[in-house]
Structure formats: structure tokens, C-alpha cells
Amino acid sequence: MAKAGEVKLIGGWPSPFVMRPRIALNLKGVEYEFLEEKFGAKSELLLRSNPVHKKIPVLLHANRPVCESLVIVQYVDEAWPSSGPSILPSDPYDRATARFWAAYIDEKWFPSMSGIMRAQGEEAKKAAIDQVVEGLSLLEDTFGKISKGKPFFGGDTIGFLDIALGCFLGWLRVTEKTHGLKLLDEAKVPGLAKWAERFCADDAVKGVMPETEKLAEFAKLIMAKFKAPPPQ
Amino acid sequence: MGEELKLLGMWGSLFSRRVEMALKIKGVEYEYSEQEIFHNKSASLLKYNPVHKKVPVLIHNGKPIAESQVILEYIDDTWKDHPILPQDPYERAMARFWAKFLDEKCVPALWKACMSVGPEREKTQEEACELLSTLEGELKGKKFFGGENIGFVDIVADVLGYWVGVLQEAVGVDILTEDKFPVLCRWAEDFRNCPVVKENLPPRDRLLAFFITQSEMLNSLQQK
């Protein structure tokens, strides 16, 4: 067990990427100090700890920084191997499957979702929505195959892929609310819809998933930035 | 043994060659299947990588794995001799960080810098050089990113070890040069001289011709 003060996480409450290591640390029962960054200004500590990207989250373990959310999650899994459940599966093929879909989520699915928020004009918005829906349908299939009837992608407990996807549920709800959509539709993606409820209710997630209302307010702030037409 | 290992790859692809380097490090035998990657994708490729329809795909006892870095980790998880990733969790995190940096930032930036024309060129080249400076700094004092022997990051950095040199020549730009990046260039030479790399590089003149054709195609598209 880490002593308080030995583990710190630099982050911000609205960021789904920051949520990932928080869930991982919670699963492992590791105490940590949460260093909240002020929106719009980057702290000295952040710039020093992540000089390459200057982004959150950054984990500081005995003052050594680890950056990139999924790299941090894997680090937490490997640095505290005997605490809590395993986050990555133990079988090499299952691990590869989890990593493949996590990469898909980060490289394809999440950009398509933030594409809805940024779309200029109805046509562009519809195209972005279609992409997200298609992605969710693919993930629904994947959930069916990987979970094998268990509650999570990781089986009985939350695992790597649950964390990779689940962290976006807050933003997904804000997107649905803002645009009057039903993306996580029980009729179309029943497996994922139920999984989402279980994920958000889990002890490791409850305290770090922001309330939709609060997130929607925050979204209004940053949407103003995105919706401004690009300089010609 | 009863192991069936097949690689769907492409001779010129730096992603595909990474997997071959890793398999050679592990001393594992595999069947290689050359794929069409632009048109006429094979039924196999579409079946085993329906999500991205890209190479490389490793098929182990009938089960496919796609995405080169995912495949490298799978190979390391499955065959324990001659580890590719470090053992220590912090070192592993560093290796994964740099591998992500290479694929997410460096590869696209280098491609852009080499393929852009006109006023865009200066900016994209500057961006690529900035990224290379970061890597130059990371390498100082070490023979390879992996230490005494090549490892995960070195394999993922194959773009710098070989491909970018050929690409630069094809389009007539100077990004990775000895005067600007002496440490990286020294690393690149050591990298190319490793037996598992040397015997796995696509023939230079064939790759050069390939890049020249690609560049000409892109130029004609950009001018339309």
C-alpha cells in the first residue's frame, strides 16, 4: 500500500482521460493526492512533469512522472500487482484484444464523438452522429464476445477496456442532452446500455464520474471556443 | 509443437517489418503472406482485420491480432525469452510512452514534412525537427532506446532507423541529418546493423522507387 504523499495525480475533474488512472488507483486501493489543475492555466509542476505534451493526466509515483492515460493505467496494474483485481487480463490473447479495442476507442471512436460537438452545420453533424452510432454498434458486438455473459469487458470486475470506454460516458450523456440524441439506446445497444449503468454505479467509478449537469455547464464554456469559425 | 503462426504483411511497410523484427528476436518461425494494401485486398485481410483492413495482422493458431504495437506486446507476452519490453514497471511505462510518441506524433509529422509542397513545407519540416530533437535528447548516453540491445522503442522507431532516410531521398528534403541530429543518426546506423534488422529491411532501391511513385501521385492530386 502506498503511503499518502507517495502517489500524486495531476488532473482535472472534467477530463475523461484523467478519470482513467483514478479508476485504476481506486481498483487497486491505492491512496493518492489529487492535484487539480486550474482550467486555462498549466501549473509549473505539470509543465515540469510532462514537458513533451504538457497535458493531464500525469501520475507521480515517488516523484517519478508517468504520462498518457492508458500508459498510466497499465503502470498502476503492474506497479501494484498484488493489490485489488488485475486490470489487464492475464491471457496474452485477451490482453491483445483489450489493447486493440482501447486503441480503436482512442483513435477512432472518441474523435468521432467529439466530432459531433465540433460539427459545423446539420450535414456535418449528421455524419458525425452516424459514425458514433456505427462505432457503438461495433462495440456492442465486441462487448458480447469479450464479456461472455459477465458484467464487464474485464469479466467480473472492471478491467482495462471498461476503463478505456467507460471514462467517456459522462461526455456521451452531455452530447445526448445537448443535441437531443439517444446514442446509448437500449433498443440498439442493449448490452452496452446495461454495462454503462453497472460501470457508473461501481465503487471505483462513482466518486470520479462527474455529474452530467456540471459537465454540461463546463461543455458550454469550451464549446464557445470550438464553435468559433476558423480564421479564413 | 502444433503452433500455427502466420503474418499478413507488406514488403515496404514499416509497421509490418516491426512484427518481423520481433519474431526474429524471439526466434519464432512463421509463415509470411504478402498482401495488396491499396486495391484488391485479400479475403484473408478483410476477414482477419475487418475493423481497419490493414497490415500487419498476426494470426496465431487461427486467432488474429492487429495493430503493430498490440502485436509486439502480444509477441512479448507469449514468448518469454529475449524480452522486448523492459521488466521494471516504470521502464515499461517509459517504453510505452515513447512508442506512443513515435506513432502518434513522429510518423505522421515526418510523412507530412516529406509530402508537403509550397509554403506548407517549411512549417511541417520545423514541426518534424522539433519532435526529432525530443528523441535526440531521450537517446543521449544510451546505445539503443532499449539499452544495450534493441527493444520495443527501437523497433517502433524503425521509421527513423531506415524509412525516413529513403523517403527523404525520394522527395529531396533534409530532415534527419547528421549535422542536426548526430545522436539519432548514430543510433540509426547501429539499428540497421543489428542482424534481426539488417535481414528484415526492404531493398533500398525498391523502396526508393515506391516512395517516388507515392510522392508523384500525391503531387498530382494536390495540384488538381
Each residue's pLDDT tens digit, A81-91: 999 999 999 99
Helix residue ranges, H only, A50-91 = 69-79
Question: What is the per-residue pLDDT for B3?
Answer: 80
| Candidates A52, A78, A96; nearest CB to B65 | A96
What pLDDT does B223 receive? 66
Q: What backbone torsions phi and psi does residue B34 show, to the nearest 5 degrees?
A: -70, 130
Residues 6+ positions from A209 with CB-CB distance below 8 Å: A19, A169, A170, A200
DSSP letters for A144-193: HHHHTTSSBTTBSS--HHHHHHHTTHHHHHHHHHHHT--SS-TTT-HHHH
Nearest to B157 by CA among B174, B175, B145, B170: B145
CA dist list (Å): B137 to B74, B133, B134, B145: 29, 6, 5, 11
| Rounded distance between C-alpha atoms, residue A142 and residue A44, angstroms | 41
Q: Do A78 and B89 touch (CB under 8 A)?
A: yes
In which band, very low, low, confident or very high, does the pLDDT at A186 lie, cut at 50, 70 and 90? very high
Bridge partners of B144?
Answer: B147
Please provide the average confidence, as pLDDT, over all residues in chain A.
94
**Gap between the Cα atoms of B29 and B34, Å rounded:** 16
Residues counted in chain A: 232
Residue A228 has pLDDT above 70, yes or no: no
DSSP state of B55: S
- pLDDT tens string A51-106: 999 999 999 999 999 999 999 999 999 999 999 999 999 999 999 999 999 999 99
Measured distance CA(A172)–CA(B154) in Å, rounded: 38
- Residue B218 phi, psi (nearest 5): -65, -40
How many Å apart are CA B50 and CA B8, to the nearest integer? 13
Read off the pLDDT of residues A2-15 as tens digits, 9 standing for 90 and up: 554 599 999 999 99
Low-confidence ranges of chain B (pLDDT < 50): 1
Using an 8 Å CB-CB cutoff, list residues of chain A that contact chain B.
Answer: 52, 61, 64, 66-68, 71-72, 74-75, 78-79, 92-93, 95-96, 99-100, 103-104, 138
Element (H, E) at B63: strand B63-66
Distances (CA, A) of A110 to A98, A125, A172, B19, B173: 16, 15, 10, 27, 35
| pLDDT tops 90 at residue A22 | yes
Please give the ipTM for the structure prediction.
0.96
Q: Are B213 and B165 contacting, i.e. CB atoms less than 8 angstroms apart?
A: no
CA distance B80 to B84: 9
What distance in Å separates residue A181's CA from the closest CA in chain B?
A: 25
Inter-chain CB proximity A75 and B70 less than 8 Å: no
Q: Report the side by side order of strands in the sheet with A7-11.
A: A33-36, A7-11, A58-61, A64-67
pLDDT given at position A205: 98
- The average pLDDT across A205-229 equals 85
Q: Dig out the grid coordinates for B128 from the structure.
A: 518534424
Q: What's the CA gap between B57 and B19, in Å, rounded?
A: 9
Cβ atoms of residues A166 and A158 within 8 Å:
yes
Output the pLDDT for position B224: 54
Express each pLDDT in B152-204 by its tens digit. 999 999 999 999 999 999 999 999 999 999 999 999 999 999 999 999 999 99
Contact: A75, B92; criterion CB under 8 Å: yes
Q: At what angle do helices A212-227 and A169-179 cross, to 10 degrees?
A: 70
User: pLDDT of A131-161, one tens digit each?
Assistant: 999 999 999 999 999 999 999 999 999 999 9
The rounded distance, in Å, linking the Cα atoms of B216 and B37 is 18
pLDDT score for A3:
53
A96 to B97: CB separation less than 8 angstroms, yes or no: no
Contacting residues for A166 by C-beta, under 8 A, at least 6 apart: A23, A158, A196, A199, A200, A205
